[in-house]
Structure 1
């Protein structure tokens, strides 16, 4: 569903320290790795269940990928920004999950899901601006398209003539935003900050995003200022990497946070599922080792927050898996 690159499975960077990934093992015929050295505990065997819950990232492994409007500086007038900020103020992660569920599970169109949300959250009541033509760009996944429709509703209410155009990847729409060919795009704070950072400073540039939202947004705005892109208010809605278990697993082992998982479930029976690059990535297994000292007994190479990982959790093949924090599959949790 998602086309954008995730920080959580991004470049390894500084976490290639010797010994960090010791014992990850080679993939076997089952797609799982051998147990990590040092995982001497019993661990927590998978528990099947239909409901998935995200474990709280209490030590802030992940950076802050909050939804935020990106605006061409040429179009960033106070009335336009204020209309977009009203959308940000109405969004949090739970509401974003429900929006995604409406589209991805209930099969409503992004337009219908956005209108229902806008009606329920007063997005049609926005102070009038000077009007004019506005093109809202969207990436080629449903969440971006739904948020773009929310922006359209708020901007239309403010007196603008708005169209939504699905453009594709960030590599395509970001230059159009710089040039003012499109005026607004839904963005994600940490991912966009690193995109602009590496575009300006090279792929090995020191990261500028942070687990602290204010720091990430400050770095994002500084990078945007250099290329003619402004940003509105960051919402409380986050779409970032997270680690999920089944509700049944959480109840059986009494785990609610990643610290709980590390304390109770490091050991041979625990199976971590994620994309093939997860063991080497600083926001995936490598980060779990460094930040939480969580050591799974084995790793199952599947996908990044996709159907394979979620199915492995629900069917009792994996104990914990990498998901996205706004996934519609979490709505019933």
Structure 2
């Protein structure tokens, strides 16, 4: 799979570029959590956990909030929203149907099964009943923007399809990365874009307050949405309700590894394993959301780090082949489909 977003540490801390490789979606990890685990050697007396090969991958729960939230959220041009009180509530109907397992399945239908985003969206809208709406948008034109990666394209088609069902003349437009589509959204060239709470918060924060501005996004969804709403006021943007679906940094193991060692959370991994082989992007050993976060927040002992990619095919293949025990992935990756 192609990487979807540059890591937020790269995107929001310094360079405002897209995350996870070649697209612009969410990301996470702008700051370390406020209350790190008290013991940095939880698993020091335990035996090392060797990698276990297997095709199926599973994300370990980030139970102490290392990563920044990156829930999907409709970002809407403020003037368009003010002129049409039905617009945001319709987009919120889409948000209400989405959680991370659903987003994984949508991504799998496109990235693995090779359906188009339009086909996948049409089927989903029919299945969820979103294709049946009251005709409240007659005579209104809406342009839904999308980043240059498949997840964003599918989400844009979900927004556009719901709006068409309500009578809008709704179209989608792929417009590149956040640096390109965010100004177009502000200017009203785009009406709405599916966005990511934490990543957009830091994008706007750095844009408004400078590249060295302290991070305001965190693992607290409510607090991050509050910060995003405040920043949006100055940018001419308003936001719908965030969905439960997230596309954020996450740490995966094979299901065979999880079953062999009896772990489902990162805390359990640290308690169980006296050492693990970790794989991820080259910058992982220095980034607070990656190796240092695992060590400081969870007390995980990293016996060896293998430099691979940011949630891409190298990391996933290394997990599946048993070359690494734990790998940095994205929480909505199609490879996580059951």
User: Aligned to 1:291, which of 292, 297, 301?
Assistant: 297
Paired residues of 1:72 and 1:177 also in contact (CA < 8 A)? yes
Q: Match for residue 45 of structure 1? A: 50
Flag the 1:88–1:13 CA change in 2: closer, same or farther, 3 A: closer
Q: How many residues align?
A: 309
Q: Match for residue 113 of structure 1? A: 120
The runs of at least 4 aligned residues of structure 1 exceeding 2 Å deviation read 1-15, 38-42, 125-131
Cα-Cα RMSD: 1.8
1:282 deviates by: 1.1
Once the two structures are overlaid, the 10-residue window that deviates more, 123-132 or 60-69, is: 123-132
User: Aligned to 2:327, which of 306, 315, 321?
Assistant: 321
Flag the 1:190–1:141 CA change in 2: closer, same or farther, 3 A: same
Deviations 1:184-222 (A, max 9, x none): 101000000000000111111111112111111111111
Paired residues of 1:6 and 1:191 also in contact (CA < 8 A)? no
Structure 1 gap segments, 5+ residues each: 16-35
Structure 2 gap segments, 5+ residues each: 14-28, 33-40
Q: Match for residue 90 of structure 1? A: 97
Q: Match for residue 151 of structure 1? A: 159
Correspondence 1:25-174 to 2 at 5 A:
41-76=46-81, 77-131=84-138, 132-174=140-182
Deviations 1:111-140 (A, max 9, x none): 001111111111112333243111111000
Q: What TM-score comes out, normalization by structure 2 length?
A: 0.88
Paired residues of 1:39 and 1:297 also in contact (CA < 8 A)? no
Paired residues of 1:83 and 1:127 also in contact (CA < 8 A)? no
Flag the 1:74–1:218 CA change in 2: closer, same or farther, 3 A: same
Paired residues of 1:244 and 1:320 also in contact (CA < 8 A)? yes
Q: Match for residue 6 of structure 2? A: 5
Q: Match for residue 307 of structure 2? A: 301
Paired residues of 1:55 and 1:242 also in contact (CA < 8 A)? yes
1:92 deviates by: 0.5
Q: What TM-score comes out, normalization by structure 1 length?
A: 0.89
Paired residues of 1:239 and 1:324 also in contact (CA < 8 A)? yes
Flag the 1:79–1:14 CA change in 2: closer, same or farther, 3 A: closer
